């Protein structure tokens, strides 16, 4: 049996009239990569800040169990936190700042320096070690922020929007790093919007929208729930007539992307032969493709039916 290292029960939080969190519960086991996914303003950062006692919940309970005993809060040495907004010292040399932060989280300074240099090397920033953070680009600052959050080898890492400001190649690199530190024993709680990235590494997923749970469970189960559904995409080469689509009753969900792609979701009872022949009657010039739902499709479907 896997150990539960974090239990969150019935968390609620209001900011004046905004219901940021409404009765959120989940638990994370040792070794999980737990993805907290949702659109802007869904309540992800609020949840993470409450977990670390940066802000207080109005209601609910949190229990950390990283060392065999239940605690209200974890120790600094046990946790790695990559905050959404950049939180490092801008006017201190990068290496000095990294070593300092790891040392106050319990790491030996010599080991911290060695490890920081290794990470800087891997992220292509070894030659910038003596520079101040403020002279780095946004993406490179994010890399330093990432190193700062995991350098001391925390048991549990909370990564809030780790991919923000990174180009696609570096996003893929971060996916590999997250997988690597997880394989070395760090449990990960990850918040992001980039579903196509997260679905590559997470084993558990919590989908949140407007402070409310849409789904909480294993990644494989969420795909199973939707395995009978099919997505048909219409890629328009000519102008798209949204009104004609409104009469298309066979689809459970219709999403129009950038006024040129239409995604139609069909349930298991839909007869795809009939659907395709009806689609062929639609006016306009478009290509048709079909695929199984990915996490993004599932999320949109759940939001719509919430
Ligand atoms: P994003 O992906 O955009 O970072 P998020 O899922 O992290 O979004 P939160 O930052 O948790 O979302 O915000 C949830 C809701 O609470 C939003 O409506 C936000 O405007 C509101 N909110 C968050 N912090 C505050 C605050 N300090 N004062 C007032 N409202 C707040």
Domain boundaries, the chain: 4-224, 226-304
What is the average per-residue pLDDT within 79-92? 83
Quote the CA–CA distance of 96 and 68 in Å, as a whole number.
34
Relative to beta strand 156-160, strand 187-192 is: parallel
pLDDT digit string, tens, across residues 4-19 = 999 999 999 999 989 9
Quote the CA–CA distance of 244 and 283 in Å, as a whole number.
8
Quote the CA–CA distance of 113 and 117 in Å, as a whole number.
6
In this structure, the chain runs to a length of 306
Smallest CA separation from ligand 1 atom 4, residue: 40
Smallest CA separation from ligand 1 atom 31, residue: 15
Under the banding of pLDDT at 50, 70 and 90, the label for residue 3 is very high
Flag whether pLDDT at 291 surpasses 90.
Answer: no
In this prediction, what percent of the chain has a pLDDT beyond 70? Answer: 99
Pocket test for ligand 1, best of 11, 13, 18 (most atoms within 8 A of CB): 18
Q: Which residue ranges have their beta carbon within 6 Å of ligand 1?
A: 15, 18, 20, 38, 40-46, 84, 193
13 CA: nearest ligand 1 atom: 16
Q: Which CATH class is domain 226-304?
A: alpha beta
Give yes or no for a contact between 44 and 29, defined as CB atoms under 8 angstroms apart.
Answer: no
Domain spanning 4-224: which superfamily?
A: P-loop containing nucleotide triphosphate hydrolases (3.40.50.300)
Quote the CA–CA distance of 250 and 274 in Å, as a whole number.
9
pLDDT digit string, tens, across residues 178-209 = 999 999 999 999 999 888 899 899 999 999 99
Distance separating the N- and C-terminal Cα atoms of the chain: 33
Give yes or no for a contact between 99 and 113, defined as CB atoms under 8 angstroms apart.
Answer: yes
Quote the CA–CA distance of 155 and 141 in Å, as a whole number.
24
């Amino acid at each position: 049996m896997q150990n539960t290292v974090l239990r969150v029960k019935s968390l609620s939080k209001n900011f004046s009239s905004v219901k940021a969190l409404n009765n959120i519960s989940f638990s994370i086991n040792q070794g999980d990569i737990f993805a907290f996914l949702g659109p802007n303003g869904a309540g992800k950062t609020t949840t993470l800040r409450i977990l670390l006692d940066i802000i207080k919940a109005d209601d609910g309970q949190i229990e950390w169990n990283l060392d065999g005993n239940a605690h209200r809060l974890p120790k600094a040495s046990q946790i790695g936190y990559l905050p959404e907004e950049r939180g490092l010292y801008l006017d201190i040399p990068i290496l000095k700042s990294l070593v300092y932060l790891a040392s106050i989280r319990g790491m030996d300074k010599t080991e911290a320096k060695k490890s920081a240099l290794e990470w800087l090397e891997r992220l292509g920033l070894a030659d910038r070690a003596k520079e101040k953070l403020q002279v780095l680009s946004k993406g490179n600052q994010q890399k330093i922020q990432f190193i700062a959050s995991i350098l001391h080898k925390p048991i549990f890492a909370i990564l809030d929007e780790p991919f923000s400001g990174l180009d696609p190649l570096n996003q893929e690199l971060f996916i590999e790093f997250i997988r690597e530190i997880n394989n070395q024993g760090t449990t990960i709680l990850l918040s992001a919007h980039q579903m196509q990235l997260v679905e590559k590494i997470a084993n558990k997923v919590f989908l949140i929208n407007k402070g409310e749970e849409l789904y909480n469970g294993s990644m494989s189960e969420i795909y199973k729930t939707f395995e009978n559904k099919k997505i048909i995409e219409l890629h328009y080469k000519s102008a798209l007539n949204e009104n004609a689509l409104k009469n298309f009753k066979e689809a459970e969900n219709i999403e129009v992307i950038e006024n040129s792609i239409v995604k139609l979701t069909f349930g298991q009872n839909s007869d795809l032969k009939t659907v395709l022949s009806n689609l062929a009657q639609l006016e306009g010039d478009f290509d048709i493709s079909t695929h199984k739902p990915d996490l993004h499709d599932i999320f949109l479907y759940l939001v719509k039916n919430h």
